[in-house]
């Protein structure tokens, strides 16, 4: 166990999450907010620890028995922790969460983050499976955290059934993999590329697809996202997806390159299908949460292009896009949450609720417009740089067809993103009172906004750090 120190950020975060769970018993419900504050502070602490391992690569990085801690994994870990912080800030302003059990909520969220951090570092299928289960089990509970809300329960149960199913498939895939290679360790696998090995690999891929909401394993997404409390939705649409895609990059471009098994075409098809399904279904959504859910499916499709391309630019593109995606998606969900916080019950997230937002709170409407434009990849916002990088990966690797499908999808996506803008700017408001945005939500929004504007106009620092982070062990 001499290499356990590599996982010190994860261990610290997990330990503190358990501490928060215990603290829940001693903190009165009316002081529940305190635990949220502790939660994001703890995440920032873990973020600092990850940052330390990046700056001290000799002491903090290396290959362990089941894990590899390298610039790439640390990049994803920082993203996951950043998402966790921002979602907890959103949670502070979310009124529908029960004041009791705040500690449980924060603890589950942090454990989920721990699972993701393990996932992006994993170089052994056993750890991969355990990490995925840790993410899934916590996510199921988080999605159903609003116990009195039927939609929340429904989404959670669907999510659970689908998740259990895909976990089983993945476990079976791992057993086949073990049968073919005699090991679960992914480093230096001596495989024969035979049918059993490939079948195992495909089943493992299917398990990943579930978590990253890649078609055809995306069916749980809209219901789970719609029902879950909005901060959880934002979290689910970002952290598990990014972590899974990070793990997929490691597995399918580094450890067992897809091109070595002629699986490139499969990834191209998956990317194209995911984008297209997400975008064309989002067309018909009138609920902003569902719309953003389908949009997040499409975004996963764009990121998958980076993996399908299989080149260095593709890997860098996955990292870059993931970073940008965090900022723009969390921003969109934060605005949606603050708009919905004014109305009660059904219809709070309908497009109609956004009517005339530009008259009520111009800044908020402008921010939402920028987030959506960034999601659709319009310069000079950061989303453009992400798309640009991903598309150039596809062009460089010669996947012109995939690039064409991707840009057509971008155009299609503008239509439904602009539907929200249409309601915000063109429709008159039913009630003209400005929206009150709480200080923590405001802070989260400001961070996200600064991210997409600054890195849209001057992406050099981001691009340079992504290029430095796209290095891996072993």
Contacts to another protein by CB under 8 A: 358, 362, 373, 378-380, 384, 388-389, 391-392, 395-396, 400, 403-404, 407-408, 410-411, 414-415, 418, 422, 425-426, 458-460, 463-464, 467
DSSP character string of 110-142 = HHHHHHHHHHHHB-BHHHHHHHHHHHHHHHHHH
Minimum CB distance to another protein smaller for 104 or for 396:
396
Q: How far is the CB of 427 from another protein (least distance, A)?
A: 9
To another protein, the closest distance from the beta carbon of 412 in angstroms equals 9
Q: At residue 471, what are phi and psi to the nearest 5 degrees?
A: -115, 145
Least distance in angstroms from the C-beta of 382 to another protein: 12
Decide whether 317 or 444 has the Cβ nearer to another protein.
Answer: 317
Distance between CA atoms of 102 and 108, rounded to whole angstroms?
10
Of 66 and 305, the one with the shorter C-beta distance to another protein is 305
Nearer of residues 42 and 368 to another protein, judged by Cβ: 368
The C-alpha atoms of residue 365 and residue 342 are separated, in whole angstroms, by 15
Cβ at position 463, least distance to another protein in Å: 4
- In angstroms, what is the minimal distance from the CB of 405 to another protein? 11
| DSSP annotation string for 343-388 | S-STTTTBGGGGTTHHHH-HHHHHHHHHHHHHHHT-TTSHHHHHHH
DSSP H or E segment with residue 68: strand 68-69
H-assigned helices in 256-311: 264-282, 288-309
Nearer to another protein, 89 or 403 (CB): 403
Q: Which is nearer to another protein, 266 or 453 (CB)?
A: 453
Per-residue b or e along 395-419, where b marks 16 or more CB atoms closer than 10 Å to that residue's CB: eebebeebbebbeebbebbbebbbb
Q: Smallest Cα–Cα separation from 386: which of 446, 292, 304, 323? A: 323
Q: What's the closest the beta carbon of residue 416 comes to another protein, in angstroms?
A: 11
Please name which of 182, 197, 330 lies closest in space to residue 260, comparing C-alpha atoms.
197
User: Closest approach of Cβ 366 to another protein, in Å?
Assistant: 8
212's tokens? 């990253």
Nearer to another protein, 431 or 460 (CB): 460
Q: Which is nearer to another protein, 140 or 416 (CB)?
A: 416
Rg (CA), the chain: 21
CB 134 within 8 A of CB 118: yes
Bridge partners (DSSP) of residue 287 are: 350
The half-sphere exposure of 188 on its side-chain side, counting CA atoms within 13 A, is 3
With respect to another protein, which residue has the nearer C-beta, 189 or 407? 407
Closest to another protein by CB, 171 or 463 = 463
Q: Rounded to the nearest 5 degrees, what angle is found at the Cα of 245, between the Cα atoms of 242 and 250?
A: 125
Helix (H, G, I), strand (E, B) or coil at 62: strand
Tell the smallest beta-carbon distance from residue 458 to another protein (Å): 8
Nearer to another protein, 335 or 402 (CB): 402
Dihedral angle over CA of 283, 284, 288, 290, nearest 10: -100
190 contacts 181 by C-beta, under 8 angstroms: yes
CB 379 to another protein: min, Å: 4
Specify whether the CB–CB gap between 330 and 448 falls below 8 A: yes
Residue 318 beta carbon to another protein: minimum distance, rounded to whole angstroms:
16
Q: How far is the CB of 317 from another protein (least distance, A)?
A: 11
Report, in Å, the least distance between residue 271 CB and another protein: 16
Which CB, 388 or 472, lies closer to another protein?
Answer: 388
| Cis status of the peptide bond prior to 380, with omega within 30 of 0 | yes
């Amino acid at each position: 166990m001499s290499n356990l120190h590599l996982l010190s950020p994860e261990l610290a975060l997990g330990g503190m999450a358990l501490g928060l769970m215990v603290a829940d018993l001693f903190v009165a419900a009316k002081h529940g907010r305190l635990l949220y504050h502790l939660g994001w502070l703890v995440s920032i602490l873990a973020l600092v620890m990850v940052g330390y391992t990046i700056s001290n690569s000799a002491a903090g990085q290396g290959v362990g028995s089941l894990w590899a801690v390298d610039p790439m994994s640390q990049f994803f870990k920082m993203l996951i922790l950043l998402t966790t912080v921002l979602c907890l800030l959103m949670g502070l302003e979310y009124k529908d969460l029960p004041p009791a059990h705040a500690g449980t909520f924060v603890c589950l969220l942090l454990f989920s983050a721990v699972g993701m951090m393990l996932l992006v570092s994993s170089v052994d299928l056993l750890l991969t499976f355990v990490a995925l289960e840790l993410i899934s089990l916590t996510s199921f509970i988080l999605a159903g955290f609003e116990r009195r809300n039927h939609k929340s329960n429904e989404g959670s149960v669907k999510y659970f059934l689908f998740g259990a199913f895909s976990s089983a498939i993945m476990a079976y895939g791992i057993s086949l993999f073990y049968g073919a290679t005699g090991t679960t360790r992914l480093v230096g696998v001596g495989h024969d590329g035979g049918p059993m090995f490939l079948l195992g690999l495909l089943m493992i891929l299917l398990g990943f697809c579930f978590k990253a909401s890649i078609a055809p394993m995306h069916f749980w997404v809209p219901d789970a996202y719609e029902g879950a409390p909005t901060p959880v939705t934002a979290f689910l649409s970002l952290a598990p997806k990014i972590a899974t895609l990070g793990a997929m990059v490691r597995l399918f471009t580094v450890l067992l390159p897809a091109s070595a098994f002629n699986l490139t075409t499969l990834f191209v098809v998956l990317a194209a299908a995911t984008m297209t399904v997400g975008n064309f279904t989002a067309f018909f959504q009138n609920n902003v949460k569902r719309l953003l859910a389908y949009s997040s499916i499409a975004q996963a499709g764009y990121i998958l292009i980076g993996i399908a391309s299989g080149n260095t630019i593709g890997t860098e593109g996955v990292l870059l896009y993931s970073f940008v995606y965090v900022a723009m998606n969390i921003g969109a969900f934060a605005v949606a949450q603050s708009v919905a916080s004014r109305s009660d019950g059904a219809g709070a997230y309908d497009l109609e609720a956004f009517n005339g937002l530009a008259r009520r709170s111009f800044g908020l409407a402008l921010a939402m417009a920028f987030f959506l434009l960034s999601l659709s990849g319009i310069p000079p916002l950061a989303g453009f740089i992400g798309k640009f990088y991903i598309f150039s990966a596809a062009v460089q690797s010669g996947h012109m067809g995939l690039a064409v499908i991707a840009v057509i999808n971008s155009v299609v996506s503008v239509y439904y993103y602009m539907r929200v803008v249409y309601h915000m700017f063109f429709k008159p408001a039913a009630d003209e009172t400005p929206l009150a945005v709480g200080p923590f939500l405001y802070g989260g929004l400001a961070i996200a906004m600064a991210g997409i504007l600054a890195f849209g106009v001057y992406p050099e620092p981001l691009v340079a750090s992504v290029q430095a982070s796209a290095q891996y062990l072993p």
